Chains A and B, each alone.
Chain A
Amino acid sequence: MVCSACHRLVADLDTDYFTLLGLERTYDVDGAVLRKAYLRVSRETHPDRFDASDADEAMQLNARLNEANRVLKDPVLRAEYLLELSGGQSSAENREVPQEILTYTLMTREEIEEAHAANDAGALARIRDQATARHDGTAAEIGALARRLPGDATLRGQLRDALNAMKYHQRILAALDGTDE
């Protein structure tokens, strides 16, 4: 990305996140390896390293690099991204969620409110255990499906469903933590 002869930035803003970071395109990304790759590319391409003539391009490239790091670090976002690369539907194109998840979410939110109102720590702990189990189960399902990408349309559809459901599980946990503000 940096020309060794002239120290000019030769940025290709269309490369995928894995290529940008010099990593193999796979669901299983080791956190430490990703971090080292991220720091290495940052060192080489950060806007601080370039004259004004290259600064805009470096800024764009680093914005993309930071986005790549954010996405690949997070298993759910990583699966979402791999699905996109495999030609699957995006969350904007398909927001469908099974009725069961919607019902579960509504009920759980009510239970959380009631437990808060009654100051019932035991109930909250039970809700949390259940929510965590469902969250972790969906996360495992996402991992298993993402490892089989690109797969066929059915597999990609299943992954889309699991990812859509995941949003609801994440929100329930955030509500329990009080971080959904």
Chain B
Amino acid sequence: MPAHEPIIGIDLGTTFSLVSFCDERGPRILRDERGEGRLPSVIGVTHGSDGKPSIAIGWSARAHAVENARATVYSIKRLIGKSLAEIEQELPFLAYAVTSGPRETIQIEIDGRRYSPEEISSAILRSLKERAAAALGVAVTKAVITVPAYFDDAQRQATRDAASAAGLEVLRILNEPTAAALAYGIGLRERAAADDPETDRQQVAGGANGHVALPMPKCSDSVPADGGEDDIDDADEQLIAVYDLGGGTFDVSILRLEDGVFEVLSTAGDTHLGGDDFDREIITLVTAEVREQFGVDVQSPTARQALRGLAESVKIRLSEAEDASLELDLGEGRLYRRVLTRGEFERRLLPLVRRTLTLCERALRDAGLRRDELTQVVLVGGSTRIPLVRAQVAEHFGKAPYTALNPDEVVALGAGVQASILSGQRSDMLLLDVTPLSLGIETMGGAVGKIILRNARIPCRAQEMFTTFMDGQTAIKIRVLQGERELAAHCRLLAEFELREIPPMPAGIPKVQVEFLIDANGILNVSAVEQRSGQRAAIQVIPNRGLTRAEVERIEQESIAFAKDDIDAHRRIDLVNQIVFDTQKAEQMLARVGSGVDGALRREIEREMASLRAMARDPSDLDALHAALDHFGKRTLPLAEAGVRTALVQGGTQMAREETTTADQRNPEE
């Protein structure tokens, strides 16, 4: 195989996003300079003194979410590809302003500028792309991006548009539970072979370098020789359920794994059910109690954002502890306090968890399987850390769920595996997925005629014949819907297509054959031919939601302007942190070495230290700042050497202590 441009795997999550890459050693998460794989899916917009906006992404945006509440965007995945009407129940929980854009799209308004959800997502994707480029040392333009299996066409298209605006070509939109199965499937196959769960656990969890053990057969091994399929042993067949409960979405997929083929049999889910909803149970509780006790609403964006952060941390604590205390300062001397027990929290969660189990049953029924036929139930997504979720799943399926891989990372790892399949590196594995929702056409009287049923294997296509009902009619309008309900009004309108340039003929004579193809990304493609004339009918696709091509391009272009600001902002933060760190360290050294340093040098260092700190307070010229910091580093070199000598004399304890402090200083956000 020739060397390919790298294809990265991206898990674009509701709360966190990750990027991975798979080489011959196996898939691995690409981490930031602090070793953190997760990037909070949070964007903060700030305005400099010149009024120009700059964007903070990830941890820094998250750290300033409370004081920058109205300009901090989170959980954008719950909004992407949706209309305002569809997310109405979300609105009370959002601290940022959401308005309606053209064609029923949603827009986020920050300081008078409007952002589409695609634009916000593209900023997160761009950051991941840059991280990958830095880690791999080459430019990255291609990616596999995961989405919830239950995402509809509009949500998939919007995700693809966001990537495109970030300069990423999406080679595959991959369903999250399927990605998880790919990552786990590697382990499950080896497990079956080794029949030793402990060994397997280590293999799957990977070594210190974070790699998942993955044997890479040569390309030529992949195509079985004649009769090779006879080697398929039914005993190797695994039937697994992937239960994926993330920050904002729930999916369950039932898969059959056999001889490297990952066959999705069915999928079910809810794109508005996840950790956010668990937080909201706490938010709702606190809001009601605050109203009762103090007669006020938690209304200001700052208070709402603070409450959201509090709810999330309480939820996380309750996974470990039996109770957690909550405290919310409402200002004017009013302090709300209470202790929430795990039991209380679980009672509020139970209906939500039950909903996921109902969906599991539907998926099983669609797969034509009974619960006891499953060989494995795999848990994916941060919300599966909640003890109640684990217990309910174990009870429902009658077996302990399998959780060897980090639930936050497994989807991204799987995206990396699929990327390596697409790049031709791996040919011993193949993924066969399904479309989660039925596709239909609106017929007379607002009913829906289904043309592709849910859980149909993709790619799949359906052909329908259309004709005219008036003499000389040259255009036919078709409304395409997605969903399970019988009435068009209850399904999701994907698009209106207009078949044009039909040759004028008497009514009922033209025969226009329309082909609906759902591709391997789960995205709909439409083409049409007028059969009598053989003429291809022009199709005007009017997307019901989402961006036009021009809008995607505009975001991409503007983002280039943004990118410079982003880089500057990052660099400024980094430099300032470095100055704080280096000057503190020099101060400590000066104190420690005492008379071990020449008096003139000490005075020089102290002068430079003061001047650096002054520059850091108002960092306008980043290059000058960088040069000054460099100079300071060289100047303090003798000091560091003297420090080492002193430390050696004083013994190792102090060194150890110092390392602890520096580690803390490096993570000012934590």
Contacts and interface: CB of A to CB of B under 8 A. Distances in A.
B459 A48 contact: no
Contact of B459 (A43, A47, A70, A179): A47
A181 B484 contact: yes
A11 B261 CA distance: 22
A47 B519 CA distance: 10
B371 to A, nearest CB: 18
B191 interface: no
B131 to A, nearest CB: 26
Contact of B258 (A39, A48, A63, A181): A39
B261 A42 contact: yes
Interface of A: 36, 39-40, 42-44, 46-49, 59-60, 62-64, 66-67, 69-70, 179, 181
Contact of A48 (B263, B365, B430, B456): B430
A76 B151 CA distance: 32
A18 to B, nearest CB: 17
A153 B104 CA distance: 55
Given A66-B460, A181-B486, A49 B229 contact: no
B342 to A, nearest CB: 37
Contact of B427 (A49, A62, A179, A181): A49
Given A36-B229, A48-B422, A181-B484, A63 B430 contact: no
A49 B422 CA distance: 7
A63 B486 contact: no
Of all A-B residue pairs in the complex, the 6 with the closest CB atoms, nearest first, are: A63-B461, A66-B457, A63-B459, A59-B459, A40-B229, A62-B459
Contacts of B519: 47, 59
A66 B456 contact: yes
B164 to A, nearest CB: 16
B458 interface: yes
Interface in B513-532: 517, 519-520
B550 interface: no
A64 B458 CA distance: 10
Nearest to B428: A43
Contacts of A47: 459, 519-520
B25 to A, nearest CB: 21
Contacts of A64: 461
B421 interface: yes
B232 interface: yes
B232 A66 contact: no
Given A48-B421, A59-B517, A66 B229 contact: no
Contacts of A46: 430, 432
B431 interface: yes
Contacts of A43: 222-224, 261, 430
A36 B460 CA distance: 19
Interface of B: 172, 222-224, 229, 232, 258-259, 261, 263, 365, 421-422, 427, 430-432, 456-461, 484-486, 517, 519-520
Contacts of B427: 49
B461 A67 contact: yes
A73 B519 CA distance: 22
Contact of B457 (A40, A48, A59, A69): A69
Contacts of B460: 63, 66-67
Contacts of B223: 43-44
Nearest to B453: A70
10 contacts: A36-B229, A43-B224, A46-B432, A48-B520, A49-B427, A59-B519, A59-B520, A64-B461, A69-B457, A70-B456
Contacts of A181: 484-486
A48 B486 contact: no
Contact of A63 (B222, B421, B422, B517): B517
A71 B432 CA distance: 17
Contacts of A48: 172, 421-422, 430-431, 520
A42 B432 contact: yes
**Of residues B224, B430, B517, which shows the largest number of chain A Cβ atoms within 10 Å of its Cβ?**
B430
A173 to B, nearest CB: 14
B459 A39 contact: no
Given A43-B224, A67-B461, A70-B457, 18 more contacts: A39-B229, A39-B258, A39-B259, A39-B263, A40-B224, A42-B432, A43-B261, A44-B223, A46-B430, A48-B421, A49-B427, A59-B459, A60-B461, A60-B517, A62-B520, A63-B461, A66-B457, A69-B457
A40 B485 CA distance: 36
A179 B361 CA distance: 13
A63 B519 CA distance: 8
Nearest to B258: A39
A36 B258 CA distance: 10
A69 to B, nearest CB: 7
**Of residues B365, B422, B459, which shows the largest number of chain A Cβ atoms within 10 Å of its Cβ?**
B459
Contacts of A62: 459, 520
Nearest to A61: B459
Contacts of B456: 66, 70
Nearest to B365: A179
**Of residues B365, B421, B461, which shows the largest number of chain A Cβ atoms within 10 Å of its Cβ?**
B461
Nearest to A51: B424
A42 B431 CA distance: 9
B516 to A, nearest CB: 10
A49 B520 CA distance: 12
Contacts of B259: 39
A39 B261 contact: yes
B484 A66 contact: no
Contacts of B484: 181
Contacts of B258: 39
Given A36-B232, A47-B520, A48-B422, A66 B458 contact: yes
A46 B426 CA distance: 13
Contacts of B486: 181
B430 A42 contact: yes
A49 B258 CA distance: 18
Contacts of A40: 224, 229
A16 B365 CA distance: 31
A70 to B, nearest CB: 7
A14 to B, nearest CB: 14
B415 to A, nearest CB: 14
**Of residues A46, A59, A63, A67, which shows the largest number of chain B Cβ atoms within 10 Å of its Cβ?**
A63
A63 B461 CA distance: 6
A99 B606 CA distance: 103
A66 B261 contact: no
A94 B224 CA distance: 45
Nearest to B234: A32
A64 B261 CA distance: 19
A80 B221 CA distance: 39
A66 B430 contact: no
**Of residues B222, B259, B421, B432, which shows the largest number of chain A Cβ atoms within 10 Å of its Cβ?**
B432
A90 B630 CA distance: 81
Nearest to B519: A59
A43 B457 CA distance: 14
A47 B258 CA distance: 19
B226 to A, nearest CB: 11
**Of residues A48, A49, A70, which shows the largest number of chain B Cβ atoms within 10 Å of its Cβ?**
A48
A51 to B, nearest CB: 9
